Amino acid sequence: MSLQSRWLPFVLFCAAAASHAQDPVGERPPQARDVPYGQWEREDVPLPPEAGLAVERVWIAADGTLHVRTDRATLARGANGWAAVEAGANPEPLRTAGPEALRAVGLEPASVTGEVRDVRTDASGVVWVATDGGLVVAAPERAPARLTGEQGLPVEDLRCLAIDPDAAWLGTARGVVRFDGERWRYFGGRMWLPDDDVRSLCVDHDGSLWVGTGKGLGRVFQRRMTLAQKAEGFQARILARHRRHGMVSGIALGGPGDVTQPIFHDNDNDGLWTSIYLGSQCFRWAVTRDPAAREAARESFEAMAVLATVSGIPGFPARSVVKPDEPHGGGEWHPSADGKWIWKGDTSSDEVVGHFFGFSLYYDLVADGVEKDRIRAIVDAMAGHIVDHGFNLIDVDGKPTSWGRWGPDYTRSLQGYFARGLQALEVLSHLRVALHVTGNPRYAEAYDRLVKKHGYARMTVGQKIQLPRVTNHSDDELAFLSYYPLFRHETDAEMRAIFLRSLTRSWRIEKPERSPLFNFIAGAARGAKGDPDLDASLDTLRDTPMETIGWGVDHRHRKDVKVSAILGRTGRPVIDRVLPISERSVQKWNHDPYMAIDGGGGTGEDDGSFWLLPYWMGRYHGLIGPPEE
């Protein structure tokens, strides 16, 4: 389809037979095909030091070579690198701006308001005009149409243009915009460019875009791949630099964007993040039977087992561990009885949710007989600890931890009112897992007591009731990680109906965030009659950048969003809609996707398990098909 035929209308699932074993959560929902797509990537292209960084113009000469003019030199890129260009050789194209440029393409200057910065004509005869007040598009025998923020243009003050067969590229002082006639894409910040100060654009013969900025030359391009190939890339990065004593989480970097100097450190939620990776590898093993998947799952299971038992308090998991000779962050740290570890206390519900989620999947999908016995003992100790202490997690000081309270006294209190739906959901899920793994009837009795005497099942229906400013997106992730094992193991039709009301209500609130993890959990639980929002889920999985370095973003200048008058939970401004994941700072599913300002200076890298879990969960439940060439 041509660019013209897509933009003229301007309106902003494939079904396949399932090939996996019967879904243990619900009836089979539809399946999407994993066909090759274009994965957006970028690179910074170094220039000779003597040329400086400020790129004023970039173009492809008649002989096919890339040329760059900086504020100090004009260069050509050949097989042996950059070389100075003699005066008059392969001159740069003339600028196409101002009223005369409009007349040259048959447009009257009066038909275009604002300062004309650049004018281009595509192969279909459509004229594209970059102005200081938006993009003007004029098809043959049609009046010019102006596109601004109201139509989805992120930045209206345009500087330059480049046209490829499928899209128009727009350079601005705040990054690059791509428009293919249907969808706007925004490439801004260090996650995509050397600098937002874009001064020149040029499309190469292979379709890649050269971007000249005030701080260097960049290239934006697409690499053909399937989701399965993308998963291999994330997996390789984790194996290369994101494992610490079997735990998997983010790392610090020795310098902005410098992945050659990974710095390992403890994390408050090492158990939760490791469980997310563990879950992904359990699903991967179940789908592929790849021995490498089983080994990866086993390594993380062993790390989780250490966290579950290192405290010496039966059933009390640690947040994290380090070796005695390793540095660690703040918080409550204690030596293990055997002297091999220092462990972090004040464990939260985040860790407990992660342990029950990860252990239950490893038990069901991966574990051998001996490992099942070990998991049975660990889960029995954790669930028993919670039940024996009035549904609380009791720390070394004999008091409940800050965020480890699920009992009726807490859910009836003023402090626990807004959290009671989530706390009820979590503890019922934990008890159902414990009953499944151990077979101990005491957990069925505790479950029934909370449901019948204290109304915990009905309480879950309101698990997402919070004031806008205090909305905690971490709680959303904890809720969905609790829904999954609950639906996996609850068999009572009446209870499932109540939990389905809870899940459906929660998912409808979360649906605008386009999270494949939340969507796939909802789709698996709700079955063929459910809606896993496959199109949005696949778009997010495909749109997620391969690079997971934490570069900062600031959306407040964008004309296609509105900044809310109400600040978010962290005191930062928020916007009125969720932007595509490729336009946000790297985020796990517990992060607030509405934040207007986010990220950092490129000094940290996420492990990417947040992507692997929904991908392999989708494969396991038949929501995503096997890769197709």
Residues 205-235 have pLDDT tens digits of 999 999 999 999 999 999 999 999 999 999 9
- Do 525 and 490 meet the contact criterion of CB atoms below 8 Å apart? no
pLDDT surpassing 50 at residue 14: no
pLDDT surpassing 70 at residue 114: yes
Please indicate whether residue 3 or residue 331 has the higher confidence score (pLDDT). 331
Q: What percent of the chain has pLDDT over 90?
A: 83
Q: How far is CA 187 from CA 3, 166, 273, 280, 555, in A?
A: 20, 17, 29, 30, 12
Residues 246-303 have pLDDT tens digits of 999 999 999 999 999 899 999 999 999 999 999 999 999 999 999 999 999 999 999 9
Residues 31-44 have pLDDT tens digits of 889 999 999 999 99
Label residue 470 by pLDDT band (50, 70, 90). low
Planar angle of CA 366, 622, 353, nearest 5 degrees: 50
Query: What is the reported pLDDT for 469?
Result: 55
Give the Cα separation of 460 and 501 in Å (integer): 9
Give the Cα separation of 215 and 163 in Å (integer): 23
- Do 455 and 471 meet the contact criterion of CB atoms below 8 Å apart? no
Label residue 20 by pLDDT band (50, 70, 90). very low
Buried b (16+ CB within 10 A) or exposed e, 402-440: eebbbbbebbeeeebebbbbbbbbbbbbbbbbbbbbbeb
- What are the residues facing 222 on neighbouring strands? 40
Question: For residue 385, what is the DSSP state?
Answer: H
Structural domains for the chain: 40-225 (no CATH), 228-627 (1.50.10)
Q: Is 34 helix (H, G, I), strand (E, B) or coil?
A: strand
Ranking 25-29, 334-338, 378-382, 410-414 by mean pLDDT, the lowest is 25-29
- Do 484 and 521 meet the contact criterion of CB atoms below 8 Å apart? yes
pLDDT surpassing 60 at residue 183: yes
Ranking 70-79, 191-200, 467-476, 547-556 by mean pLDDT, the lowest is 467-476
**Exposed (0-12), middle (13-18) or buried (19+): which is 580, by Cβ within 10 Å?**
middle
* Nearest alpha carbon to residue 271 among 238, 309, 239, 241: 309
Q: Is 479 helix (H, G, I), strand (E, B) or coil?
A: helix
Residues 310-331 have pLDDT tens digits of 999 999 999 999 999 999 999 9
Residues 326-370 have pLDDT tens digits of 999 999 999 999 999 999 999 999 999 999 999 999 999 999 999
Query: What is the reported pLDDT for 7?
Result: 46
Phi, psi of 408 (to 5 degrees): -55, -35
Ranking 98-107, 472-481, 497-506 by mean pLDDT, the lowest is 98-107
Give the Cα separation of 544 and 253 in Å (integer): 21
Query: What is the reported pLDDT for 549?
Result: 97
Q: Which residue has the tokens 């407040």?
A: 556
- Do 160 and 144 meet the contact criterion of CB atoms below 8 Å apart? no
pLDDT surpassing 50 at residue 6: no
- Do 215 and 569 meet the contact criterion of CB atoms below 8 Å apart? no
Query: What is the reported pLDDT for 91?
Result: 76
Q: Which residue has the tokens 């735990």?
A: 247
Give the Cα separation of 629 and 111 in Å (integer): 48
Summarize the confidence of residues 13-18 as an average pLDDT: 26
Summarize the confidence of residues 417-426 as an average pLDDT: 94
Query: What is the reported pLDDT for 467?
Result: 60
Query: What is the reported pLDDT for 17?
Result: 26
pLDDT surpassing 60 at residue 4: no
Label residue 570 by pLDDT band (50, 70, 90). confident
* Nearest alpha carbon to residue 169 among 46, 58, 72: 58
**Exposed (0-12), middle (13-18) or buried (19+): which is 250, by Cβ within 10 Å?**
buried
Query: What is the reported pLDDT for 23?
Result: 46
Give the Cα separation of 259 and 357 in Å (integer): 31
Joined tokens for residue 156: 């209206």
The alpha carbons of the chain give a radius of gyration, in whole angstroms, of: 27
What is the average pLDDT score of the chain? 92
Region for residue 27 given its phi and psi (left: phi exceeds 0; alpha: psi -120 to 50; beta: otherwise)? beta
Query: What is the reported pLDDT for 3?
Result: 53
Query: What is the reported pLDDT for 417?
Result: 87
Residues 584-596 have pLDDT tens digits of 999 899 999 999 9
pLDDT surpassing 80 at residue 446: yes
503, containing H or E segment: helix 493-510
Q: Which residue has the tokens 């050789």?
A: 89
Phi, psi of 179 (to 5 degrees): -130, 120
| Number of Cβ atoms within 10 Å of the Cβ of 221 | 16
* Nearest alpha carbon to residue 555 among 604, 510, 593: 593
Query: What is the reported pLDDT for 211?
Result: 98
Query: What is the reported pLDDT for 27?
Result: 56
* Nearest alpha carbon to residue 383 among 244, 460, 489: 489
